[in-house]
Amino acid sequence: MTENTPDRARKRFPGISSRAYEHPADRSALVALRSLSGFDVVLRKLSGLVNERAIRLMFLGGTVRVGENQFHHLHDMVRDAAYILDLKEVPDVFVKQDPTPNAMALGSDHPFIVINTGLIDLLDDEELRFVVGHEVGHILSGHAVYQTMMQILIGLGSRLAWLPLGNVGIAAIIIGLREWFRKAELSSDRAGLLAGQDLDAAKRVNMKLAGGTKLSEMSAEAFLEQAREYDAAGDVRDGLLKFLNLLPQSHPFAVIRFAEIDRWARSGEYERILAGDYPRREDDGSAKVTDEVKNAARSYRESWEQTADPFVGKVRDMADAAAGAAGGLFDRITRRPNGSNGN
């Protein structure tokens, strides 16, 4: 166990935009949604289909609301996370009796956080600080709102499943949404690291989610090596099985999250943000969808180049071959008029 980072050493990020920590694939989707004319109005109408007041009352009646006199340490953590990430409204936190180690951010007008007792029992204070920051990151990015809307759209789409090929189309939508949700989880892991500023605690959370409380029986180096082994995956069949295993998951696997937060912390981006070099919220309106799409494409390309997964390698090789063939065909077509004029 490492020494906890003292509160006075944690840096605050005034006016930070969620774009600072969002995974490029997550960020490009969010920038595109935010740039749509009238999207906020449509979003609010769709969100109104879910009775947020009823959901809040359900948690108010059946869980413990965190405050000065109940789970005081969590109360301090959410205030600190909101202060560090410059979230104007400190969200309510509810503790739910549930042995499943999980937490979530819900709501649209006044988002709130729910933390299961299973997670509180599993983690120490610095690990919980990372989780609270993770959920505050979801709220700052607007993930709770967008996920609510997407769930409504999925529900509406399921009513059309009786149409020819309806199930195929809906399955494709769900696959796409889950891919986005998984990237949103990686984004919020980064927010959790920014809030807690303790990389070891962030790593321990994923180790405990995978293997329980006995850290003395685990090793961060060995877990990272396990992540590399998972990435390499043996042969093409294993890569395909990994892909199929991941499709129904709402969260990336623990070893993936561990490796991703380690990679991001060491990439230079984390240090730049700590030094005060980050995009500001006041500039969100000028963010270009095309730039974010390019960033997302570059991120996927870099991850493909870094992975040792043979399945991804085969897909990459086929994509490169197809791109080369298409480029050659394009060159021949564009040269043909010049050639015919020379005859």
Same-domain check for residues 73 and 188? yes
Q: Is residue 164 part of a domain?
A: yes
What token pair was written down for 318? 């086929």
Same-domain check for residues 230 and 330? no
Same-domain check for residues 293 and 324? no
* Residue 123, burial from CB neighbour count under 10 angstroms (0-12, 13-18, 19+): buried
CA 226 centroid distance within chain: 22
**What is residue 42's predicted lDDT score, i.e. its pLDDT?**
56
Answer for the pair 82, 48: CB distance below 8 angstroms, yes or no: no
Instruction: Please report the sign of the dihedral spanned by the C-alpha atoms of residue 3, residue 4, residue 7, residue 10.
Output: positive
Same-domain check for residues 107 and 233? yes
**What is residue 244's predicted lDDT score, i.e. its pLDDT?**
76
Residue in the structure block whose two tokens are 């981006």: 269
Same-domain check for residues 295 and 317? no
Answer for the pair 204, 18: CB distance below 8 angstroms, yes or no: no
DSSP notation for 80-101 = HHHHHTT-SSPPPEEEE--SS-
Q: Is residue 163 part of a domain?
A: yes
Q: Is residue 3 part of a domain?
A: no
- Catalytic-labelled residue, pool 22, 126, 127, 135: 135
Q: Is the pLDDT of residue 328 over 70?
A: no
The count of residues in the chain is 343
Reported as a pLDDT band with limits 50, 70 and 90, residue 4 is very low
Instruction: Please report the sign of the dihedral spanned by the C-alpha atoms of residue 238, residue 243, residue 246, residue 247.
Output: negative
**What is residue 274's predicted lDDT score, i.e. its pLDDT?**
97
- Buried b or exposed e, range 163-188, using 16+ CB within 10 angstroms: eeeeeeebeeebeebbebbbbbbbbb
Same-domain check for residues 166 and 183? yes
Q: Is residue 2 part of a domain?
A: no
- H or E element at residue 151: helix 143-158
Q: pLDDT tens, 159-193?
A: 555 555 455 555 555 566 677 778 889 999 999 99
Threshold 0.85, pTM exceeds:
no
Reported as a pLDDT band with limits 50, 70 and 90, residue 156 is low
Q: Is residue 4 part of a domain?
A: no
**What is residue 196's predicted lDDT score, i.e. its pLDDT?**
97
Closest CA to 87 of 137, 147, 152, 46: 137
SS (H, E, C) 237-264: HHHHHHHHHHCCCCCCCHHHHHHHHHHH
Q: Is the pLDDT of residue 323 over 90?
A: no
Reported as a pLDDT band with limits 50, 70 and 90, residue 326 is very low
Give the lowest-confidence range in 30-44, 193-207, 290-304: 290-304
**What is residue 143's predicted lDDT score, i.e. its pLDDT?**
81
Instruction: Please report the sign of the dihedral spanned by the C-alpha atoms of residue 102, residue 212, residue 126, residue 60.
Output: positive
Q: Is residue 25 part of a domain?
A: yes
Closest CA to 109 of 193, 53, 171: 53
Same-domain check for residues 158 and 295? yes
Q: Is 127 a catalytic residue?
A: no
Q: In the chain, what's the furthest Cα-to-Cα distance? A: 90
Percent over 70 (pLDDT), the chain? 61
**What is residue 230's predicted lDDT score, i.e. its pLDDT?**
87
Return left, alpha or beta for 212; rule: phi > 0 is left, psi -120 to 50 is alpha, else beta. left
**What is residue 166's predicted lDDT score, i.e. its pLDDT?**
52
What token pair was written down for 24? 């490029």
State the residue range of the domain holding 331: 309-343
Q: pLDDT tens, 226-267?
A: 999 888 866 666 667 877 777 767 788 999 999 999 999 999
Tally the C-alpha atoms within 13 A of residue 134's C-alpha that lie toward its C-beta. Answer: 23
Answer for the pair 129, 195: CB distance below 8 angstroms, yes or no: yes
Q: pLDDT tens, 37-46?
A: 555 555 555 5
**What is residue 96's predicted lDDT score, i.e. its pLDDT?**
98
CA 300 centroid distance within chain: 15
Q: How far apart are CA 227 and CA 294, in angstroms?
A: 27
Q: Is residue 291 part of a domain?
A: yes
Same-domain check for residues 319 and 282? no
**What is residue 314's predicted lDDT score, i.e. its pLDDT?**
45
Q: Is residue 133 part of a domain?
A: yes
Q: Is the pLDDT of residue 289 over 90?
A: no
Q: Which of residues 51 and 66 earns the better pLDDT score? A: 66
Q: How many domains does the chain have?
A: 2
Same-domain check for residues 187 and 74? yes
Give the lowest-confidence range in 77-86, 124-133, 174-183, 327-336: 327-336
Triad 189, 191, 196: Cα angle to 5°: 95
Same-domain check for residues 315 and 303? no
Cα 264 to Cα 6, 142, 164, 246, distances in angstroms: 22, 21, 44, 21
**Parallel/antiparallel/unpaired status of strands 103-106 and 112-116:** antiparallel
**What is residue 319's predicted lDDT score, i.e. its pLDDT?**
41
Q: pLDDT tens, 200-228?
A: 999 999 999 999 999 999 999 999 999 99
Over range 47-61, report the average pLDDT.
77
Q: Is the pLDDT of residue 61 over 90?
A: yes
Q: How far apart are CA 279 and CA 20, in angstroms?
A: 6
Same-domain check for residues 289 and 153? yes
DSSP β-bridge partners for residue 113: 93, 105
Q: Is the pLDDT of residue 311 over 50?
A: no
Answer for the pair 149, 47: CB distance below 8 angstroms, yes or no: yes
Same-domain check for residues 320 and 215? no
What token pair was written down for 167? 């199930």
Mean pLDDT of the residues in the chain: 77
**What is residue 88's predicted lDDT score, i.e. its pLDDT?**
92
Percent over 90 (pLDDT), the chain? 46
